[in-house]
Amino acid sequence: MSEKRYHVDAAIAEGVGYTIVENASLEGRNSFRVPARANLLIDVRRPEALGELFGYPMLNSTPLLILGEGSNVLFTRDWPGIVLCMVALGIEERGAEGACTRVRVKAGEKWNDFVYWSLARGFCGLENLVLIPGTVGAAPIQNIGAYGVEVAEFIGEVEAWDRHSNSLVRLAKADCLFGYRDSVFKRERDRYIVTAVDFLLPRQRELQIDYAGVREELSALGIGTPTAPTVAEAIARIRTRKLPNPDLVGNAGSFFKNPLIDADLGKLLQAQHPTIPAWEMPDSRVKISAAWLIESCGFKGLRQGHAAVSEVHALVLVNLGGASGMEIWALAEAIRKSVFDRFQVLLEPEPLVV
C-alpha cells in the first residue's frame, strides 16, 4: 500500500489484515445512532497489521480515534481524521494458573458474547457484567463495572499496540492502573490500542449478590441456591427493565459516572438529604448516586427536542429518533449545570464526547 492508494483508489482499499473505507459513515458505528462521518475508517482484523499501518505518515499526522462498537462514545460532529476499529476475533483457553484458567480474547469479540461463553464453560466471575454493550477490547479501557463487580478483578494481562515503541506490548494488571471507570488506556488514548485481553477466570467464587435488587430478583425467579448462570439471568432481567435496548433506542447506557466527592461535602449532602444513596470509599471520599441527583433536579423522562432522559433510568440519555450528537450533548450540559447549581457536584460523562 502507498499514500497514493488512500487518495486515488476506489472507496475501499484492502491490505493484509485490514480494510480501509474513505468518507465513511459512523452512524451505524455508535450506539446513540447519531450521524457522523470519518475521513478514513480502518477495520483491523490482525494486530500484526498495525505495524504496517503505522508505518504510513498519515496515521501519525492525522487525528486518530480508536473505536470499538461505539457503545461508549457520543459524536457531536464529524471526525476530521481516521477512525480505527480492532475487529480481530478469537477466544482461546491458555491453561490453568492456580485456581483460575487464563483465557485470551481478541479485542473485537463482543463483550456480552464472551460473558455467556465463559458461563457456558463453567467459569464464574463475569456474571454480574452481563448485557454490557461493547467489545472486549473496550472493557479494560473503561474498566467496565456493574452490580458490585469491576472487570479489572479478572484481568491478568492486556495486549496492546504501543505507538511510542511501535510494537505489541503486554501490560500486567498492575501496569494498567485500573480505577473507577479508568485505566492507563483511557488516560493515554493516543498511546495504546488494545488488541487482546487475558482473563484469569475461576470456576468457584463467592457470588456477588448483595447489590440492590439482585437477591429480590433471584427470589422472584424462585431460585433459592443461586449459581453464576442464574445470577446472570437475574441481572439480565433487571438491566432489561431499567435500560433501553440500544438496538431499538439509541443510547450509551449510563451517561454519567457516580461522582466521588470529598468527605465534608458528602456529610453535608447526607445531612441535607437523608435519602441520598451514598457509599464511603476506602480513600475517605464518598460516592453518591448520579441518578438520584439527576432525578432530584426533575430530569427523569424529560424530553428536549429529539433527545431525552429515559423514563425508567435517570442516568440514561436517549435518541428518540433523528437527534444529533449536539442535541444530546446540550441536554447533558443542561443536566450538569442544574445538578451543580443545586448540589455543588459536577457530573462527569462516562462516554467519550467527541
Indicate if 82 and 95 belong to the same structural domain. no
Residue of 29, 33, 45, 181 marked active site: 181
Indicate if 104 and 34 belong to the same structural domain. no
Q: Specify if 283 maps to a domain.
A: yes
Q: Given pLDDT bands bounded at 50, 70 and 90, which one contains residue 1?
A: very low
Residue of 31, 254, 296, 324 marked active site: 254
Looking at the chain, the whole-number percentage of residues with pLDDT higher than 70 is 96
* Three-state secondary structure call for residue 95: strand
pLDDT reported for residue 12? 59
Whether the Cβ atoms of residue 256 and residue 315 lie closer than 8 Å to each other: yes
pLDDT reported for residue 9? 34
Indicate if 95 and 198 belong to the same structural domain. yes
Q: Specify if 236 maps to a domain.
A: no
For 43-63, b/e burial (b = at least 16 CB within 10 A) is: bbbbbebbeebbeeebbeeee
Q: How many domains does the chain have?
A: 3
Q: Specify if 243 maps to a domain.
A: no
Indicate if 194 and 269 belong to the same structural domain. no
For 159-196, b/e burial (b = at least 16 CB within 10 A) is: bbbebeeeebeebebeebbbeebbbbbbeeeeebbbbb
Catalytic residue check, 338: no
Indicate if 173 and 131 belong to the same structural domain. yes
Indicate if 111 and 75 belong to the same structural domain. no
Closest to 269 (Cα-Cα) out of 249, 292, 238: 292
Indicate if 72 and 108 belong to the same structural domain. no
Q: Specify if 239 maps to a domain.
A: no
For residue 144, what are the domain limits? 91-202
Name the DSSP letter for residue 56. S
Residue of 150, 159, 327, 350 marked active site: 350
Report phi then psi at 305, rounded to 5: 65, -125
Q: What is the CATH number of the domain that holds 161?
A: 3.30.465.10
Q: What is the CATH number of the domain that holds 23?
A: 3.30.43.10
Indicate if 160 and 173 belong to the same structural domain. yes
Indicate if 183 and 128 belong to the same structural domain. yes
pLDDT above 80 (res 224) = yes
User: pLDDT for 160-187, tens place per residue?
Assistant: 999 999 999 999 999 999 998 899 999 9
Catalytic residue check, 181: yes
Q: What is the CATH number of the domain that holds 269?
A: 3.90.78.10
Catalytic residue check, 284: no
Q: Specify if 242 maps to a domain.
A: no
**pLDDT, average across residues 338-354:** 95
User: pLDDT for 105-158, tens place per residue?
Assistant: 999 999 999 999 999 999 999 999 999 999 999 999 999 999 999 999 999 999
